[in-house]
Amino acid sequence: MRSPQKNQRSLARLGWPSYLALAILAFTAVAVCAPQILAPGNPLAIDPANALQSPSMAHLFGTDESGRDLYTRVIHGAAASLGIGLAATAIGVGIGAILGFVAGLGPKLLDSALGRVFEVLFALPTLVMALLFITIIGGGPAASILAIGLATIPGYARMLRARVRGIAQSGYVEWARLDGVGPLRVFTRHIAPNSLWPLVSAATLGVGQAIVWVSALGFLGLGALPPSPEWGAMLNSGRTYIATAWWMTVFPGLAIVITAAALTALGRRLSKLGTA
């Protein structure tokens, strides 16, 4: 197991990209929890007289076809996009962790059966699986959460299963068992803590990916619907005006890319910390 001193030294060597990612995520957290601090306006307020205004001091990101301020909508849309991504990741990680522990610690026959299922489902692109679930359960934000969450389960379960099996066969776990330590204590003290750290870094990466997939569903009209200030739905609305009002797609797209990149950078750093 990693010592607290080693964790502290690793955290001290995060580097400027990780600090930049943390700063971006801190700004995004404010946008999610208290958007009125950054954008006090109403994201749904229309002003037809100012429709399709280019970026200016009055409207930093310009306005859309109904005169709604895009900066306000992008800031307020963080809660919808990030919230759906977090909820979907929570479903995928939660169910995936349960299945991963069951496969990794269960009988060989059960492990073999679940392992084959994980491999087959993992081979399918996540977005394709999400679209399949959407066709079954319908569209909308709740359906997007469920579809993306279910589609990401195989990846998390497959990763945790391999990690658990490796730890369960390690020398220190075998010594604990020979020393008379009970199965529950072995699990809570040795297997679970050393298995879940990689899942934390994977989940951080997964939130960034989930935001992209949520936005893709919104762009296809299968997620949140206009006039909801969700980044994917905003992209869907802006594509009609991309030749004359580029800002309607550029700024929501930048919000998606920057947030996903920050989460990916942080997740990769956490992964390195877990193996350092």
pLDDT of 275: 53
Alpha helices, DSSP H, located in the chain: 4-12, 16-33, 35-38, 70-105, 108-123, 126-137, 141-168, 171-178, 183-186, 192-219, 231-238, 247-275
Please give the pLDDT value at position 47: 92
* 128 found inside a domain: yes
Instruction: Report yes or no on 258 lying in a domain.
Output: yes
Rounded Cα gap, residues 3 and 79, in angstroms: 36
Number of domains composing the chain: 1
Is 42 inside a domain boundary?
Answer: no
CB 102 within 8 A of CB 161: no
The residue range of the domain holding 108 is: 15-30+59-275
pLDDT at 216: 85
**CATH number of the domain enclosing 136:** 1.10.3720.10
**DSSP structure class, residue 191:** I
Residues of the chain with pLDDT under 70: 1-15, 272-276
Domain assignment present for 24 = yes
> For residue 214, what pLDDT is reported?
85
pLDDT of residue 3: 44
pLDDT at 11: 45
In a domain, 8, yes or no: no
Asked if residue 106 belongs to a domain, the reply is yes
Give the per-residue pLDDT at 14. 59
Q: Is residue 53 part of a domain?
A: no
Residue 36 domain flag: no
